[in-house]
Amino acid sequence: MRVGVPKEIKDQEGRVALTPAGAAALAGHGHEVLVQLGAGLGSGFADADYAAAGARLVTADEAWAVDLVVKVKEPLASEYGYLKNQLLFTYFHLAGVPRELTEALLAEKTTAIAYETLEDGTGRLPLLAPMSAVAGNMAALVGAYYLARNHGGKGVQLGEVLGVRHGKVLVIGDGVVGTHAARSARGLGAEVVVAGLDPAKGESLRRDIAPDIEFFISTPELIARHVADADLVVGAVLRKGAKADYVVTEDMVRSMQPGSVLVDVSIDQGGCIATSRPTSHTHPVYELHGILHYCVTNMPGAYPRTSTLALTEATLPYVLKLADLGLEALREDAGFGKALNAYQGHLTCRPAAEALGLTERYRDFATL
């Protein structure tokens, strides 16, 4: 199979979908690997590294004109013209990105295989996890940065000063993002409160991170109470393939102290804070109701070397299966099959179809 790796073009996105080691692995399976010139530079991989691994360096047109395209982020509008009846393996987040992307995928009958809905044998999301971990770590760090007075914040440091903790961080969500955000915030020295749905998660957070982490079962009333005096709120809500639920209302945002910070990591799936809207690394924050909102849709792109290495370690086994077996890889592995979001002009992910109001375009992959 011919496998293409285009250069990412999203704002300040330095990640690449395949390392030179991954290119060598594909070449070792007998596949032709076409890497766009400069695709790996942001992650510290030179063109010569790919050439030495057996890849061919090509233009963007050539990297897209293949059997299987492997990317990191969803195609942007300027890339829709490259969409054909090929396999495309990347993060899509169809429920949270412009509907035009879905329409383009369906019109071109592109086979859209999404990292974020692929499941392992236990129902977990192994290709979402590494980037969720990076984003969770980042959430505490960027929150601390923007709380500084000279960055527009209220001037509260998340940290311990001579034995006294300063700053309250509310993390809404007890999954991978939430756990990493809580660990980073507690590591800085802040008071950490986590809202979740599984009481056992509270026990594991206190055991694995710190015994003084507060955990409560998420309800609108309790979230409202903790949002009001939080210095930093991290939104880490996930619904597989679907739009995130708003768990922080606009009234809750209005109740916060001026200069507080919101980091909505759920923004890829539409956001879990009612006042959130997508931002970029170039323009990462905006102020609304006196509160700084950070809603960057490709947070891990700020740390491309770490992110690329973590991501490709998780994705490469699946890329190899796709290259070796094509769609049979998805038919043989039910969890891999859940990664299929669009096929032959139909949506095959029901939550995405419902979020987009396109249920009439939904078909079960097994029937196609």
* pLDDT tens digit sequence for 283-302: 999 999 999 999 999 999 99
Q: How many CB atoms lie within 10 A of CB 107?
A: 11
Q: What number is the average pLDDT over the span 305-330?
A: 97
The yes-or-no verdict on residue 51 having pLDDT over 90 is: yes
Supply the pLDDT for residue 32: 98
Supply the pLDDT for residue 366: 85
The yes-or-no verdict on residue 361 having pLDDT over 90 is: yes
Bridge-based pairing state of the strands 291-294 and 87-90: unpaired
Write down the domain spans for the chain.
2-126+304-367, 133-297
Q: Which of 268, 293, 333, 346 is catalytic?
A: 268
Short-list 285, 341, 355, CA closest to 104:
341
CATH architecture group of domain 133-297? 3-Layer(aba) Sandwich (3.40)
Determine the Cα–Cα distance for residues 233 and 231; give it in Å rounded to an integer. 7
DSSP assigned state of 283: S
Average pLDDT across the chain, whole number: 96
Q: How many CA atoms lie within 13 A of 237 on its CB side?
A: 23
Q: Which of 93, 226, 293, 346 is catalytic?
A: 93
Question: CA-based diameter of the chain, in Å?
Answer: 64
CATH topology match: 2-126+304-367 vs 133-297: yes
Determine the Cα–Cα distance for residues 299 and 274; give it in Å rounded to an integer. 19
Determine the Cα–Cα distance for residues 4 and 33; give it in Å rounded to an integer. 6
The yes-or-no verdict on residue 181 having pLDDT over 90 is: yes
State which amino acid sits at residue 219.
T
Q: Decide: 269 and 251 in contact? Cβ < 8 Å.
A: no
pLDDT digit string, tens, across residues 217-271: 999 999 999 999 999 999 999 988 888 899 999 999 999 999 999 999 999 999 9
Supply the pLDDT for residue 240: 85
pLDDT digit string, tens, across residues 92-126: 999 999 999 999 999 999 999 999 999 999 999 99
Instruction: Check if 93 is active-site.
Output: yes
Range 2-126+304-367 has CATH code 3.40.50.720: yes
Q: What number is the average pLDDT over the span 37-41?
A: 98
Determine the Cα–Cα distance for residues 29 and 18; give it in Å rounded to an integer. 15
Q: What number is the average pLDDT over the span 150-173?
A: 96
